A and B are shown apart, each in its own frame.
Chain A
Amino acid sequence: MKDALDRRYREATERAAAKGAGAQAAELDSAGSSTSAVVCMSLSRAKEFIGNETTLYSTYQLQVRSSVRQASEPADDRMRLSVDSTVHGTYGEMIRYAALSIDGLGPASYGEVSLKLRDIAVASRATVLEQNSWSFVQSRDLFGKELPPGYLATWGERNKLVCAKLADLLTPKTSSSEFATLILTQATSRSEEEFLEVHVYGAFNMDSVESVSGPSNPTKQLDIALVAWLKDKLDALGKTWVGK
């Protein structure tokens, strides 16, 4: 697996150098090493996630929350578990999904709030897949088959996967300011979004979060109140809020 990734990385950077974009490939390589895992969620989910780690919520809200009704597995869901098990085998259930990002913003279709995870919280338990696993498995018809080698990287080698995926798109005119969009392409629909998917083994909480990005000027009254509350909570937790 590792050899295959190294080979893809080497070949991609060589192709970039051949068309005069060697410097850009080196910059992309470096930028890839400083990327973060970002989880996106709606404002209402963010309030639950962020709130659950703080005084009132951890001691009280958990006690008063209504019944968490586990979804019954639909009998006719033939594809259930198939993507997870294709990518991760038996530990698919343990995986939390994030996107790789330079600027701390994740794919907007998953929610307007992006949580940037601390490097130290994911470094030893995350891998990166070249694409959203659903699209990756479906487009290559990989259900029940092995993943092709070279498309999955450890956290420490995510720069190689970034280059392997994106170096062919570089030109001598590509500026480093374009890397954020190359690595994570926002779109109006989920199917058009393009990003490298981060798989984090096991759960994480707000301790693993470095900063949170969200709407700086929400228009709905309820959202204004929610954002104000989130900022207070983050402030109490010593985390940064980044308005976008």
Chain B
Amino acid sequence: MGWEMIETVFVSGKDALAYFYEDEKWYSLSAEETIPVSASEVRRLVNGGGEYYLLRGLSKREISDALVKEKRRADALFLTLAVLDEQASISTRVLLAQQADDLLLESSNRDFVLKRILSWPLPTNVTAARHSLMQIANTFNHVAMVLKEVFNFQPDLHEVIARWRESAEEVGISQAGLSSLRSELVDAGFFRAVLMATVERNLHDLNSIIVTNLLGGNWSPQERALLLDFQRRIQSSMKRTREYEKPKPGRLFKRSPGADQNKPSEDPFRPDLPSNECASPQEARLNAFEAKQRVDKQINCIKEMLFRDRLPLAEKYVTDLMRFQLGRDDQEYAVMSLCNLTASALDANRLGFADELIKYAMELGPNDIVAFTARAEVLRRRGKFAAALAAFEEVISRFPARTYPLNGKANVLKEIGHFEQAAQLLRRVQSDFPEDSVAFNEEVGVLRSQGRHKAALQLAVANARRFPLDPVTRSVLAGSLSRVGRYAEASRHYQQALALDRTEVRFIVVAALNTHSAGASERALRYLEEFLKTSPTEVPLLQAKAQILRSIGQFSAAKGIYESILRGFPRFIPAVLGLRAVAVLEDPIVAAENKVTHDQLESELDWTGFRTYAVALVAADRPREAIQAIEAALPQCPWLGQRDRLKTTLGIAQMKNNEPTCIQTLQTNLESLEDRQRQARLLFLSHAQIEQNRQSIARVLLSRMVTTSDRGIQSIKEHLLRASAGKNTGIGKVDLSSGELELALAA
């Protein structure tokens, strides 16, 4: 039993059933049982839409195996499609994605699913919901992998299917004939293969796919005519695209014609990385996935060079990368690579480099919305708000139905203080794209910038209810709670955000800093240590650890961490600034010698560096120079948040210089500051009141308004309360404690 060959077997993964014929009887076989069935039932069910496959010459064991395999494939397809189904609730989609993920772990199931989903363009309502779908899918690696591929290839898939329809019309095949032909081709993975050839602009592959299918099928003359017409249309479409997308050299990244094709890497850090002066024939024939792997490797290497401050090498690698991608006619992917690298250049505060990269991307992709939006974003990050606004408006006029430029424009409006306009625009985006959480979260940011932290919190709560599974929305809620001093609740929501997206290091960092703000610095450090055990070189974690150590006075430990980061990544600006801050606290006279002028400053980080210098001047007992520098810089500073911080530093400098105006300065905009910044301001204001012999006011401020549990602030508060009671504290000579200096650097 079990080893005799059975001649006729129908297997359906959809029905999870197999029917087989043995000893003149029909049986149905399921996972649980084998039961005799009538012939008419077999006929009804097999022809009833269960997609039965006819198999021959199997043993019962093989039938069972085939059944299990078919069922897993069918389930994988159904579950993946169901995740995309807009009628399913979020919690159902999570359940479905969870199950799909297990099945998609098997590459054969993934292949089966992709063959089918990439045979027809997704409905527009599904592609419009890409962002929210990916938020769910990102928790499940294999689902995310499949859906990313599905979404990324949609534009090309539309093209392929448009050509298919044209061919069908040209040949005049009947609807039933077309449907039957399509079904067979979908099953054979034909459309996906054509799509990949199209994406890779690979005529050779395209021709080979068509020929293989022509030879392999028993096609009618009309079906053959359709396939050949389709081949011709795809070919000419590919040729048209190639002519249109002829690459232009960028300004910074030129081709060097004399270079060796297989020259080894000149990079002392990465000798394994080949130099791609131009794509060799072998490279040009790499399949899409091999090429992607190679490009990913090159991009990572360029990012590394940016942070290692090896700009010439980064430039050279960009040139190599472009040659490789353009040599393969991967124009669209070249634009994507450049956009990706632009983001990294911004992170490394290489603003000029970022600008060059994105301009090159715009040249290569004159119709690429991402490139044009990224250019506007680069302008924003450079503090060139008028230009950024114009750039966003241009993108919006060209791509009116896209959210990124609309959100980007709102962000710029927020930066320049046009809060109401920003909020109105965001509400419009929310109404047009109700499933996109970005505009909802951005509105929270607008309210925060206005200093309306309670309203921001209310909105953040509503948003979290609306997007319960969006980790970013959850972290925005946590941030809003933290900003009003509700640290314990913030902590819970940060943990929730992290549970929703365990790969996001930012959530760990902000959770730790929130715990630190709540006065539990040791706990925050232990929390970071937990993650550092498994990721000891994760720079943001190290940076956060150093920041906390610095604020609790462990300067040498903080310095050690900053130095270790900078040994690996000399261009990591937050570590550079952290090290400077430690220098201000340890040796302000030397730190004040590193002059920073305001005329070349662009990014927010640049302005943080300037403020650190101003604090160094105050600490080095040169408050007059600090005041002059800040007063000259303030009108030039485009960043509203940085202006508030500079005002705090100005007030401290004025206090140190015994100027009564310090009180007015420190009171400016006080109510709209976020909690920690406001608490710091109140401390300095109290100190200034003491210096002006208004001890009673200082005591009221300290006892009633400085309410945070932050250990550093509490310690300064106690110190100032003693001073206000007339005890011997040294106050009166306008000395700033190291705690106050640290607060001045951080706040």
Interface residues of A (CB under 8 A from B): 42, 44-45, 47-48, 51, 54-57, 59-61, 63-74, 76-77, 79-84, 97, 134, 189-190, 221-222, 224-225, 228-229, 231-233, 236
A-B contact pairs, 20 of them (CB 8 A): A42-B15, A48-B49, A48-B50, A54-B85, A56-B84, A59-B123, A60-B122, A64-B119, A64-B186, A68-B49, A71-B42, A71-B47, A71-B54, A72-B54, A74-B8, A81-B40, A83-B40, A228-B92, A229-B88, A231-B92
Contacts of A231 on B, CB cut-off 8 Å? 92
Are B10 and A71 neighbours in the complex by a CB distance under 8 Å? yes
Are B40 and A56 neighbours in the complex by a CB distance under 8 Å? no
Closest CB of chain A to B309's CB: distance in Å?
50
Which listed residue (B24, B40, B46, B87) contacts A82, Cβ 8 A? B40
Contacts of A47 on B, CB cut-off 8 Å? 78, 82
Contacts of B15 on A, CB cut-off 8 Å? 42, 44-45
* B126 CB within 8 Å of chain A: yes
Closest CB of chain A to B92's CB: distance in Å?
4
Are A84 and B14 neighbours in the complex by a CB distance under 8 Å? no
* B89 CB within 8 Å of chain A: yes
Known: A65-B186, A71-B54. 15 other contacts (CB 8 A): A47-B78, A51-B78, A51-B85, A56-B85, A57-B81, A60-B81, A65-B116, A67-B184, A67-B186, A67-B187, A82-B40, A83-B38, A84-B40, A189-B35, A222-B99
Are A225 and B123 neighbours in the complex by a CB distance under 8 Å? no
Are B88 and A71 neighbours in the complex by a CB distance under 8 Å? no
Are A68 and B119 neighbours in the complex by a CB distance under 8 Å? no
What is the bound-complex CA distance between A44 and B99, given in angstroms? 14
Are A64 and B117 neighbours in the complex by a CB distance under 8 Å? yes
- The answer to whether residues A222 and B47 also contact, given A64-B120, A74-B21, A77-B39 and a CB cut-off of 8 A, is no
Are A55 and B39 neighbours in the complex by a CB distance under 8 Å? no
B68-101 CB mask vs A (1 if < 8 Å, else 0) is: 0001001101110110111111011001101100
Are A55 and B87 neighbours in the complex by a CB distance under 8 Å? yes
Are B75 and A222 neighbours in the complex by a CB distance under 8 Å? yes
Are B183 and A225 neighbours in the complex by a CB distance under 8 Å? no
Closest CB of chain A to B15's CB: distance in Å?
6
Are B40 and A225 neighbours in the complex by a CB distance under 8 Å? no
What is the bound-complex CA distance between A82 and B43, given in angstroms? 12
Residue among A55, A56, A224 with the highest chain B CB neighbour number at 10 A: A56
In the complex, which residue of chain A has the Cβ closest to the Cβ of B191? A64
What is the bound-complex CA distance between A190 and B28, given in angstroms? 12
Are B14 and A45 neighbours in the complex by a CB distance under 8 Å? yes
Are A44 and B40 neighbours in the complex by a CB distance under 8 Å? no
Contacts of A134 on B, CB cut-off 8 Å? 38, 40-41
Are B119 and A79 neighbours in the complex by a CB distance under 8 Å? no
Contacts of B107 on A, CB cut-off 8 Å? none
Are B40 and A55 neighbours in the complex by a CB distance under 8 Å? no
Are B53 and A69 neighbours in the complex by a CB distance under 8 Å? yes
Residue among B52, B98, B99 with the highest chain A CB neighbour number at 10 A: B99
* B347 CB within 8 Å of chain A: no
Closest CB of chain A to B223's CB: distance in Å?
14
Are B119 and A228 neighbours in the complex by a CB distance under 8 Å? no
What is the bound-complex CA distance between A232 and B90, given in angstroms? 10
Contacts of A67 on B, CB cut-off 8 Å? 51, 183-184, 186-187
* B125 CB within 8 Å of chain A: yes
Are B50 and A225 neighbours in the complex by a CB distance under 8 Å? no
In the complex, which residue of chain A has the Cβ closest to the Cβ of B186? A66
In the complex, which residue of chain A has the Cβ closest to the Cβ of B89? A232
Closest CB of chain A to B16's CB: distance in Å?
5
What is the bound-complex CA distance between A76 and B38, given in angstroms? 14
What is the bound-complex CA distance between A48 and B43, given in angstroms? 19
Closest CB of chain B to A215's CB: distance in Å?
15
Contacts of A59 on B, CB cut-off 8 Å? 123
Closest CB of chain A to B203's CB: distance in Å?
26
Are A71 and B51 neighbours in the complex by a CB distance under 8 Å? no
In the complex, which residue of chain A has the Cβ closest to the Cβ of B46? A71
Contacts of A45 on B, CB cut-off 8 Å? 14-15, 50
In the complex, which residue of chain B has the Cβ closest to the Cβ of A81? B40
Contacts of B16 on A, CB cut-off 8 Å? 42, 44
Closest CB of chain A to B391's CB: distance in Å?
37
What is the bound-complex CA distance between A80 and B21, given in angstroms? 13
What is the bound-complex CA distance between A67 and B21, given in angstroms? 22
What is the bound-complex CA distance between A64 and B75, given in angstroms? 14
Contacts of B38 on A, CB cut-off 8 Å? 79, 83, 134
In the complex, which residue of chain B has the Cβ closest to the Cβ of A80? B39
Contacts of B49 on A, CB cut-off 8 Å? 48, 68
What is the bound-complex CA distance between A55 and B79, given in angstroms? 16
Are B81 and A61 neighbours in the complex by a CB distance under 8 Å? yes
Which listed residue (B86, B87, B96) contacts A225, Cβ 8 A? B96
Contacts of B17 on A, CB cut-off 8 Å? 42
Closest CB of chain A to B72's CB: distance in Å?
10
What is the bound-complex CA distance between A229 and B99, given in angstroms? 12
What is the bound-complex CA distance between A44 and B50, given in angstroms? 10
Closest CB of chain B to A41's CB: distance in Å?
9
Closest CB of chain A to B184's CB: distance in Å?
5
Contacts of B44 on A, CB cut-off 8 Å? 97
Closest CB of chain A to B102's CB: distance in Å?
8
Contacts of A60 on B, CB cut-off 8 Å? 81, 120, 122-123, 126
- The answer to whether residues A56 and B126 also contact, given A44-B15, A68-B49, A79-B39 and a CB cut-off of 8 A, is yes
Are A48 and B14 neighbours in the complex by a CB distance under 8 Å? yes
Are A71 and B52 neighbours in the complex by a CB distance under 8 Å? yes
Which listed residue (B26, B42, B99) contacts A221, Cβ 8 A? B99
Q: Quick one: which of B176-196 are within 8 Å of A by CB?
A: 182-184, 186-187
Are A233 and B87 neighbours in the complex by a CB distance under 8 Å? yes
Contacts of A64 on B, CB cut-off 8 Å? 77, 81, 116-117, 119-120, 186
Are B86 and A55 neighbours in the complex by a CB distance under 8 Å? yes
Residue among A47, A68, A221 with the highest chain B CB neighbour number at 10 A: A68
Which listed residue (A42, A77, A225) contacts B98, Cβ 8 A? A225
Closest CB of chain A to B710's CB: distance in Å?
45
In the complex, which residue of chain B has the Cβ closest to the Cβ of A228? B92
What is the bound-complex CA distance between A61 and B50, given in angstroms? 14
Residue among B8, B38, B81 with the highest chain A CB neighbour number at 10 A: B38
Which listed residue (B87, B91, B98) contacts A54, Cβ 8 A? B87
Contacts of B71 on A, CB cut-off 8 Å? 44
Contacts of A42 on B, CB cut-off 8 Å? 15-17
Are B92 and A232 neighbours in the complex by a CB distance under 8 Å? yes
Are B116 and A66 neighbours in the complex by a CB distance under 8 Å? yes
Closest CB of chain B to A74's CB: distance in Å?
6
Are A80 and B40 neighbours in the complex by a CB distance under 8 Å? yes
Are B51 and A66 neighbours in the complex by a CB distance under 8 Å? yes
What is the bound-complex CA distance between A190 and B35, given in angstroms? 9
What is the bound-complex CA distance between A48 and B52, given in angstroms? 14
Closest CB of chain B to A144's CB: distance in Å?
14
Closest CB of chain B to A219's CB: distance in Å?
14
Are B187 and A66 neighbours in the complex by a CB distance under 8 Å? yes
Which listed residue (B40, B52, B81, B82) contacts A69, Cβ 8 A? B52
In the complex, which residue of chain A has the Cβ closest to the Cβ of B24? A76
Are A229 and B96 neighbours in the complex by a CB distance under 8 Å? yes
In the complex, which residue of chain B has the Cβ closest to the Cβ of A109? B35
Closest CB of chain B to A184's CB: distance in Å?
19
What is the bound-complex CA distance between A232 and B85, given in angstroms? 10
Contacts of B122 on A, CB cut-off 8 Å? 60
Are B187 and A232 neighbours in the complex by a CB distance under 8 Å? no
What is the bound-complex CA distance between A233 and B38, given in angstroms? 33
Closest CB of chain A to B219's CB: distance in Å?
14
Contacts of B92 on A, CB cut-off 8 Å? 225, 228-229, 231-232
A-B complex: 3 closest residue pairs judged by Cβ atoms: A71-B46, A63-B120, A225-B95
Closest CB of chain A to B106's CB: distance in Å?
15
In the complex, which residue of chain A has the Cβ closest to the Cβ of B182? A63
What is the bound-complex CA distance between A65 and B77, given in angstroms? 9
Closest CB of chain B to A197's CB: distance in Å?
13
Contacts of A55 on B, CB cut-off 8 Å? 85-87, 123, 125
Contacts of B24 on A, CB cut-off 8 Å? 76
